[in-house]
């Protein structure tokens, strides 16, 4: 899941009316916000998650989904997605 940067505002026209209204100023580059780092995986974080997954294992519904996907037919894949949707609210 990546965050996309949204396009900046267009240059101001210097007029008081219109879509690009406003005083003309020079735009300065802002430093990235710390909140944009949220959700990014670090090496340490990935290692911790890997160790926990190795020790704890999968939840029963996750094991069932993996089993359905391993069968390989389209209907079982669809059924595994339905199972995920039921359990998680989305897939």
Cβ(83)–Cβ(68) below 8 Å: yes
- Give the number of C-alpha atoms closer than 13 A to the C-alpha of residue 50, restricted to the C-beta side: 7
Is the confidence at residue 2, as pLDDT, over 60? no
Q: Enumerate helices (H) and strands (E) in the chain, giving the number of each.
A: 3, 0
- Give the integer Cα–Cα distance in Å for 18 and 65: 54
Please, what is the average pLDDT of the chain?
Answer: 86
Is the confidence at residue 1, as pLDDT, over 50? no
φ, ψ of residue 23 in degrees (nearest 5): -70, 140
Q: For residue 47, how far is the Cα from the chain centroid? A: 20
Q: pLDDT band at residue 5, thresholds of 50, 70 and 90?
A: low
pLDDT digits (tens, 9 = 90+) for 48-74: 999 998 999 988 988 998 898 898 889
């Amino acid at each position: 899941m990546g965050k996309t940067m949204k396009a900046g505002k267009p240059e101001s026209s210097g007029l008081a009316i219109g879509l690009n209204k406003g005083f003309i100023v020079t735009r300065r580059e802002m430093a990235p916000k710390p909140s944009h780092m949220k959700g990014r995986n670090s090496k340490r974080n990935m290692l911790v998650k890997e160790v926990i997954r190795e020790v704890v294992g999968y939840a029963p519904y996750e094991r069932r989904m993996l089993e359905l996907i391993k069968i390989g037919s389209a209907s079982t894949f669809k059924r595994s997605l339905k199972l995920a949707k039921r359990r998680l609210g989305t897939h």
